[in-house]
Structure 1
């Protein structure tokens, strides 16, 4: 693997398996131009209006633990093979959440004992990212012209090149949210 995101994602997958999170990531899934266009259309035309109705048009930059699992469930409902990923995102070289792997594991082992720093997004295949909340942070801290309520999506290299977003996966699996936040999530799409 020549992509830093891909190697970190694979490591997060392996660590998550060892922690019994049962991640369902299909690293062999082909991300075609057609799939990318379909996902983009789905996010713009279906997901954003739904999320705005659910969460309002306030600041979403600290809402990833609420909004990403909801997005995951909608994508699963549409039969899209995806997984929740937990870690850090860097914007223009600045880590946004100070996420720490050991803290993520502590929260998993003893949920609710303290607030923990985390960013959550959705991954398809080996490196396709869907992030419903990071746009709010870009708008608030980096560029007021950047639309705050949009879903950022694309391959990790393209997001790094075009938007200076570097994703750092640490754990994966919907079971993490179920265990730490008591949000029951189901897979409807099978990772094949």
Structure 2
């Protein structure tokens, strides 16, 4: 049950592997995943990634966006994937699923609803019940929306959080602050967002192509 995310014994990487298998078997997305969930990512690479995102992307592109990011996870994930791909040649993939914060489900994501939405002949209107974050493989999570939700709903001081949280899954669970967040990946989602919304990486790719050539 989704309500028991924090009681889930499988590692984040194991759940990500399962999500990739399910995506291929059930959704048969047209594009192969850009990353491998079993890749080993070093602490040095995570530190470099954090610098790129929080000291470059967030200060340039992020500063031009709506000041509240807590309800823009898909839009932000699409931007970050395009930024990493185009500016740094880093493979990245959007992950779709759910996140539990202090035992509370934030988005009410449901696998069957995701499947129904993807295979529907008409695009859904309104908000989607899902959370989107970015993966470069392994247990690394890049979550741009969670910080503002933590500050708004869980009284976590925003000044103690980076603009974009870039860390291993275990670093969200044992955060060192007054929250514990556990991500549950369901599918890899760039193709999902391309079909169901206008928030996939392809819609903003041209911005980063322009930035790269300038």
Q: Which band: TM-score by shorter chain?
A: 0.7 to 0.9
Deviation at 1:149, TM superposition (A): 6.6
Q: Kindly indicate whether residue 187 of structure 2 is the aligned counterpart of residue 166 of structure 1.
A: no
Select the structure that is richer in helix.
Answer: 2
CA RMSD of superposed structures (Å): 2.1
Indicate the residue corresponding to 1:190 in structure 2: none
Indicate the residue corresponding to 2:97 in structure 1: 87
C-alpha distance in structure 2 between counterparts of 1:119 and 1:54, whole Å: 22
Which 4+ stretches in 1 moved above 4 angstroms? none
Deviation at 1:177, TM superposition (A): 1.1
Indicate the residue corresponding to 1:11 in structure 2: 18
TM-score normalized with structure 1 length: 0.87
Deviation per residue, 1:119-148 (Å, 9 max, x gap): 000012221000111101001011252247
CA contact under 8 A between 1:51 and 1:67: conserved in structure 2?
no
Per the alignment, in what secondary structure is the counterpart of residue 99 of structure 2?
A: strand
Q: How many residues in Structure 1 have an aligned counterpart in Structure 2? A: 185
- Where structure 1 has 5 or more consecutive residues not aligned to the other structure, the ranges are 188-192
Indicate the residue corresponding to 1:40 in structure 2: 50
**Aligned positions of 1:10-89 closer than 5 A:** 10-18=17-25, 19-21=27-29, 22-57=32-67, 59-77=68-86, 78-89=88-99
- Where structure 2 has 5 or more consecutive residues not aligned to the other structure, the ranges are 1-8, 206-214
Q: Kindly indicate whether residue 177 of structure 2 is the aligned counterpart of residue 179 of structure 1.
A: no
C-alpha distance in structure 2 between counterparts of 1:51 and 1:76, whole Å: 15
Per the alignment, in what secondary structure is the counterpart of residue 42 of structure 1?
A: helix
Deviation per residue, 1:148-186 (Å, 9 max, x gap): 771011111122111511000001031111111144536
CA contact under 8 A between 1:24 and 1:173: conserved in structure 2?
no
Indicate the residue corresponding to 2:169 in structure 1: 156
Indicate the residue corresponding to 1:102 in structure 2: 112
Deviation per residue, 1:44-94 (Å, 9 max, x gap): 21121134333132x211111211111111011111122100000111111
Query: After alignment, is 46-55 or 72-81 more displaced?
Result: 46-55
C-alpha distance in structure 2 between counterparts of 1:129 and 1:184, whole Å: 18
Indicate the residue corresponding to 2:3 in structure 1: none
Indicate the residue corresponding to 2:150 in structure 1: 138
